Amino acid sequence: MDTYTKNMTVGSELSHILRFALPLLLGNLFQQIYNIVDSVIVGKVLGKDALAAVGATGSITFLFYTLCIGLSIGAGVLISQSFGARREKEVRSYISNSAYVLILFGLVLSLVSAISAESLLKLLGTPKSILPDATSYMRIACAGTVCVAAYNWINSVMRSLGDSKTPLVFLIIASLLNAALDLLFVVAFDSGVSGAAWATVTAQAISAIGCILFSYIKNEYFKLSKDELKPNRRLIAKCITTGVPIALQNALISVSMVFLQRAANTFGETVMAAYTVTMRVEQLIQQPFQSLNAAVSTFTGQNTGADKPLRVTKGYRQSLKTSTIFALFMLIMFMLFSNAIVRLFVNDAEVIRIGSSALKVSACFYIFLGFIHTTRGLLNGAGDVGFALINGVAEFVGRVGFSTLLLLIPFVGIWAVWGTTCLTWVLTAFMSFLRYTGGKWKDKKLV
């Protein structure tokens, strides 16, 4: 069992966090390859209009995906604190009951999102020229939401037990399969953007099924008795009440991204394509921050369960220094190579010009992004999930408010799209800082 679990309540704080975060980072990077491969193949083979069609769906599909991610994070907090407190039977019961919550929720979202795809895209103001392709891509991608729910559930459970290596293996396999299927469907079969969507959904499904089967075979915590498999109303309710605030935070962030996507849509296909490219790159750059977030969350959860608050604070401060160093490094990289990066996605000169400038602007604010992720990891792991909703409201207000304001200023023009994101990071980081220094998170233990 020890091979697939890790006790993070003893030993070097930063070593635990970085060793845990590295496989997460590699896994997250491979996961982002799903999106990047889609964008590169669609942009290079099918052209900028097809790329804009795929990009137009991003904020909406992310909304449905992120609801599942929020619920899985909540389950992970409960399991990590129970694991840190050495309550093994409770750990197993949370594993089964959180699975029931996530899979049912994923099935409902798959149905709702696939049915409402075209209506939602019209609501966003998606140009008619790309609406058919965007609708086709979104229906297929959203129908696979249940696969996203299943994968994020098993991934969150494994993380909470200290295993960040197993998901990496299956993500590598799935990402290679995704690339092969993209080439097969889009290039060989000439199936357009629908082929790219099917490739991604298939890869996600294989990753989820593979992780679940492997965990059942190798990890003793997944060998559940009949009693542990029985639905428990109290534990199901606990999973829901813990996960819903995080899910709502993610939902608010996603809805705010929808507003920003709508703002980008008003400037036409060229700006939409540039925004799609910068979003794909930003998703990639966020992976180290998100990996550190997950590592800090698991570290905090286990040590909170074990009643070791000093280790929590020390690990957080060391992680914050790490995120700051990475942010400064990426600032230098984008100042030097942003033009070449955008050229990987598209050949259109105007898209390259806009996208490379936007990347340079955004990079100046990555320090705030790192602070947000590291602090969220601490707060979630400690059980302060109620603040997640407050933080989500702040990010929603920021994106909607700043975009509305900047679009009214004539000389800002298209830069309102990227300026909104940067200002929102500053606002959200400030809110997180106030919560951390206030200290209320220290009394939010869940088990």
Question: 416-436 pLDDT, tens per residue?
Answer: 999 999 999 999 999 999 999
> Given the structure tokens 């999106």, which residue do they identify?
35
Q: What is the structure's pLDDT at 185?
A: 84
Please list, in sequence order, all residues whose beta carbon lies within 8 angstroms of the beta carbon of residue 404, skipping any fewer than 6 positions away.
none
C-beta atoms surrounding 302 within 10 Å: 28
For 117-155, what is the HEC assignment?
Answer: HHHHHHHCCCCCCCHHHHHHHHHHHHHCHHHHHHHHHHH
Q: Which residue pairs, CB below 8 angstroms and at least 24 apart, start in 312-315?
A: 312/378, 312/381, 312/382, 314/13, 315/13, 315/14, 315/16, 315/17
Angle 205-207-211 (CA atoms, 0-180°, nearest 5)?
A: 120
User: Residue range 373-386: average pLDDT?
Assistant: 93
Q: What is the structure's pLDDT at 2?
A: 57
User: Residue range 111-127: average pLDDT?
Assistant: 85
In this structure, are residues 140 and 194 in contact, taking their beta carbons and an 8 Å threshold? yes
Q: What is the structure's pLDDT at 33?
A: 67
User: Residue range 221-248: average pLDDT?
Assistant: 90
Taking the C-alpha atoms of residue 9 and residue 229, their distance in angstroms, rounded to an integer, is 28
Taking the C-alpha atoms of residue 169 and residue 153, their distance in angstroms, rounded to an integer, is 16
Average the pLDDT over each of 177-191, 345-359, 395-409 and give the range with the smallest value. Answer: 177-191
Residue 159 has pLDDT above 80, yes or no: yes
Query: DSSP letters of 223-262?
Result: ---HHHHS--HHHHHHHHHHHHHHHHHHHHHHHHHHHHHH
> 73 to each of 11, 248, 326, 365, how far by Cα in Å?
25, 12, 24, 26
Residue 40 has pLDDT above 80, yes or no: no
Query: DSSP letters of 336-397?
Result: HHHHHHHHTT---HHHHHHHHHHHHHHHTTHHHHHHHHHHHHHHHHHT-THHHHHHHHHHHH
The secondary structure element, H or E, covering residue 20 is helix 13-41
pLDDT band of residue 1 (cuts 50, 70, 90) is very low
Taking the C-alpha atoms of residue 156 and residue 75, their distance in angstroms, rounded to an integer, is 7
User: Residue range 294-323: average pLDDT?
Assistant: 94
Question: 332-378 pLDDT, tens per residue?
Answer: 999 999 899 888 888 888 889 999 999 999 999 999 999 999 999 99
b/e code 170-179 from CB counts within 10 Å (16+ = b): bbbebbeebb
Domain segments of the chain as ranges: 16-443
Residue 48 has pLDDT above 80, yes or no: no
Amino acid at 411: F
User: Residue range 201-209: average pLDDT?
Assistant: 86
